[in-house]
Amino acid sequence: MSAILRGRPWPLGSTITAQGVNFSVAAPKANRVELLIFSCSDAPSPDQVIDLDSQTHRSGDYWHVEVQGLKAGCLYGYRVFGPLAPGGHGFQPAKVLLDPCTRGIDGWSVYRREMATGASPNTDSCLKSVVCERNTFDFDAHPRPRHSWQQTVIYELHVGGFTRRSDSGVAQERRGTLLGVIDKIPYLKDLGVTTIELLPVQAFDPEDAPPGRDNAWGYSPLNWFTPHQGYICGDDPLEARTQMRELVAACHDAGLEVLLDVVYNHTTEGNRNGPTLSWRGFGDQIYYHQTSKGDYLDVSGCGNSIAAHQPLSRTLILESLRCWAIELGVDGFRFDLGIELSRGEGLKPLEQPPLLEAMEADPLLSDLKMVSEPWDCGGLYRLNDFPAQRIGTWNGRFRDALRGFWKGDDNSTWALGQRLRGSPDLYEGKPVSLGRSVNLLTAHDGFTLKDLVSFNGKHNLANGEDNRDGENHNISWNHGVEGPTSDPAVMALRRRQQRNMLSTLLLARGVPMLLMGDEVGRSQGGNNNTWCQDTPLSWMIWSDESCDTDLFTYVKRLLAVRRQLGDLFNPEIAHSEKSKRLSRDPEGLWRQWHGVELGKPDWASWSHCLALSVHKGNDGAVLWAGFNAYFKAMHFDLPVAASPWHRLIDTALPPGQDLPEHPDHWTPSGIPLESRSLVVMVAEECLHSVAL
């Protein structure tokens, strides 16, 4: 038997010491805690049960003990005793609990989610916590790329789905894993993105899904510290942290940043009838918003909502962020339904949420990129007034405006102009500063870009919920045929519309995000909610037969244009909209809006055309962009250029000519825009910057 010492309350979780391992966990309302030590991952019962005496092994809210002779790889769990919460849930001493701060998890071969519900013991089917090292990431050897927000282009991808296919070019044992993503770094670099945003890689429960399906996306957290075992090569839980570091190091070496999509607004324990796996068993009323009668309050749509205003919840989330940022090296976070974290007692929105204040004040998190969804399922939507200055937000209004304009909706031209300006209408009359808004057209939650132009409605029957799940308001258009078609006219128009929307996204002022596969025309068959589809339906496509390689070339060149003409799209460089005669800076950039005639934009509800030009002082225009979402071709006048015009982009032209390596010289004083097309002209003096 191992020697038992008093231990200490900090650090939380399990920590290797000179003599063994220190364990510490918060359970303020418990009256007794047992630490269980297991011999192996499938052990039906513990080898050792250590009863933590409240006089010796408790300091305030924390229970702690040091056990001599233990080392990395030790498997453990807890039983916690105390009163039931109102409503009959809370402490369940029959259940073996995961340490909320564990850095490793094992026992997947025997795990059964259903055994964590009810009153029966789950000792023979429980997951086990694993003692792991807690070393710091080697930033000296693999420093953060630290791209400015102006340079940043985010690429959202799913670790499993990105390399799952056999034609991905990834060795079989690495497909669908963190290491598999490493093998595709050359692809990402060739495309030209700067930052990858990984859908949840924190450990989640694959069984939290409808019968016969898997939780594929991972928005069902089981633990906030452990890399998901399903994304690891092999079954050694100690390898999870090593392989996560390998991915981050490889990305840093290639100049790519790594952001994580993190889910701190709810857990996989669901509502009051859900399983008792971890948080609930240690502090049901501490971690979850509840009524006085013990009913769970839910603004996540998943059965529970984390009470992030509570000190212990806040401590745990901050410690998790530090773990991923300092121990595993990631460069930032995107917070799923992040505005939920601003809610206080009774879900009341707080102007100064304690968690968000603490995140912004933490020096260990001060150099990270942080972005959040500004909405939750309770109807809270805070974009401009998101209650944290260093946390940017997904701009859903940008998405809706672009979709509506190119679909041909009424009242869409003014909205498009606002988004191209940098959304001043959403940010107190001023263009949004860089880092405060992420512009998106598509994301994992919703249609892919190809499906956006191929389907009028969602087709989610494969999810087993009778097509009730998923967003109904997609602002999509099938262009005449629902789903796949061999009609050449429809196919050509859909290809053009994809280029129109991608061009508008990447040339707008702000920080853009691309969805995995949009650059090659990936379809999900009209399914806009593939959260439970770990199947080819949601996987990345790779073969030339499946991919739109012309679109890939177009996006690659478009990213090069954005990179090399960045000052023209930088919202932090003020573009006056006064005439050149009033310009105070003879070299300064200023913007003018047009319709088909110069200086006469048509903002009417029925308008479907818009143009803008960027001028350099009194020298003339250096950039002109025209947008025609009308069903007829339109002829636009061009302003006088600072140097001869060259046609950089024309989405109505055939692939390869739509964004050519060598833009053609343009001498006429006007230019035709085919129906539903986009044209960008650039002055010759800027052309040398664009190397395609």
Catalytic residue list: 336, 373
**Other CB atoms within 10 A of residue 429 CB:** 7
Question: What does the chain come to in residues?
Answer: 692
| 682: helix, strand or coil | strand
E-assigned strand segments in 39-175: 48-52, 58-59, 62-68, 75-81, 84-85, 89-90, 105-106, 128-130, 154-157
Which residue is listed with tokens 């601003």? 342
- Cis ω for the linkage preceding 11 (within 30 of 0): yes
**Cβ-based neighbours of 382, under 8 Å, separated by 6 or more:** 339, 342, 349, 374, 375, 393
| Segment (H or E) for 315 | helix 311-322
Which residues make Cβ contacts (< 8 Å) with residue 128, sequence separation at least 6?
38, 41, 75, 76, 77, 96, 98, 105, 106, 107
Cα-to-chain-centroid distance, residue 205: 19
If we measure between CA atoms, which residue out of 151, 152, 155, 175 comes closest to residue 163? 175
The b-or-e profile of 553-568 (16+ CB within 10 A means b, else e) is bbbbbbbbbbbbbeeb
Helix (H) or strand (E) holding 34: strand 32-38
Question: Quick check: helix, strand or coil at residue 398?
Answer: helix
Q: Is residue 102 a contact partner of residue 223, using CB atoms and an 8 Å limit? A: yes
Judge contact between 29 and 83, C-beta under 8 A.
yes
- H or E element at residue 253: helix 239-253
Rounded to whole angstroms, the Cα distance separating 4 from 467 reads 56
Query: Is 341 in contact with 356 (CB distance < 8 Å)?
Result: yes
Query: How far is Cα 629 from Cα 314, in angstroms, rounded to an integer?
Result: 48
- CA 154 → CA 64, 147, 239, 431, distances in Å? 42, 11, 28, 20
Q: Is residue 236 a contact partner of residue 229, using CB atoms and an 8 Å limit?
A: no
Kindly give the pairing relationship between strand 392-395 and strand 437-440.
parallel
Asked if 63 and 100 count as a contact pair (C-beta separation under 8 A), the reply is no
Read off the DSSP letter of residue 306. Answer: B
The Cα 416–Cα 422 span in angstroms is 10
Nearest-angstrom CA–CA distance, 370 and 606: 39
Residue 495: partners with Cβ closer than 8 Å, 6 or more residues away: 548, 550, 551, 655
